[in-house]
Amino acid sequence: MKTKAALVRESNKLAIETVELDPPKAKEILVRMRAAGVCHSDLHTYRGELRTEPPLILGHEGAGIVEEVGSGVTRVKPGDPVLVNWLPACESCPTCLNGHFNLCENFNTTTFVGTLLDGTSRLKTLEGVSVNHYLGAATMSEFIVIDEAGAIPIPNDVPFEIAAIIGCAVATGVGAVINTAQVPAGSSAAVIGCGGIGLSMIQGCQLAGCHPIVAIDVVDSKLELAQQMGATHTINARNGSTLKALRRLIPGRPDYIFDSVGSAKTIPQALRGVRAGGTAVIVGLHSAIEEIPISPGWLVFENKRLLGSFAGDVRPRLDLPKLVELYRAGRLQLDKLITNRYLLEELPEAFEAMEAGTIAARGVIMFED
């Protein structure tokens, strides 16, 4: 079948084109997309800064309706609304058996290189050139084929745009707090960067019982949104020394600092900013291709911890339904996270806004009925 999709034929060359999509094979499903999140990972990949090589179809956050199932599918049926889980772990390799489903050993030869779990693609250009599925999902397309493990059923009352961002932004942010850092109630915390993931971190801190919660960004509108999400204090990093401002708000320095940016500036800032014995958690990938010097003195003399958190240490089949239920219960303010909506043809504008910092939280592509 044919589907309209966001095709990157080579780095920095994006076009909305019609491509060919093969039908689902055994244990695979066809999904008609209703919403797809616009994530910095998509932008980094478009720029050639992350794993999957072009040609590829972008997108890994998404939600839609199951249209067709291949043989042997048991988890979903046609007509089911689902959110896309771009981490369909095998659940049997040593890493999965140790509980790290986000680090499944099969991902390096499938998901991260842009294939489905059997190591092949269902996508090709109209000229017949094979096309990769970004992170095994390729959600910026009218229709997608994914493994059945890549679909999490959702209740009918959950908006597709909300379900879409739960699959990455929300899971990554909340998971960094709850799963990676395992923050105890009463801890003080700061969050660097208040985009979709950072605001999810703030909500994760609130769920964990943190106080105070300090939001740090360079855009006042994002800081205002952070306060609505649960931040007790804000710091605009353009207005002088961030670390001095943080010490004024929390004299002993925070127990935890979560860095959703991950730049050469913010990673050392997070580690220096936590108290002696504190923990800095790095989630962002802005410096994924850079080497960043870290003084061992910051770690050893003050007994600090520096943690990385990939996809919030998420256990998709367990954690994603929990996040959906927290939203339904009013414990997660996800409607406010979606501040920009686009049609698929407007993806270049979404990327421009993301690079300019004018998307307050999360942008979402809405597919027409």
User: Mind telling me the catalytic residues?
Assistant: 39, 41, 44, 60, 168
Cβ 54 vs Cβ 44: under 8 Å: no
Cβ 173 vs Cβ 312: under 8 Å: yes
Cβ 186 vs Cβ 204: under 8 Å: no
Measured from the Cβ of residue 16, the count of other Cβ atoms closer than 10 Å reads 16
Looking up tokens 């994006």 gives: 14
180-206: buried (b, 16+ CB within 10 Å) or exposed (e) per residue? bbebeeebbbbbbbbbbbbbbbbbbbb
Instruction: For residue 193, give both structure tokens.
Output: 């960067």
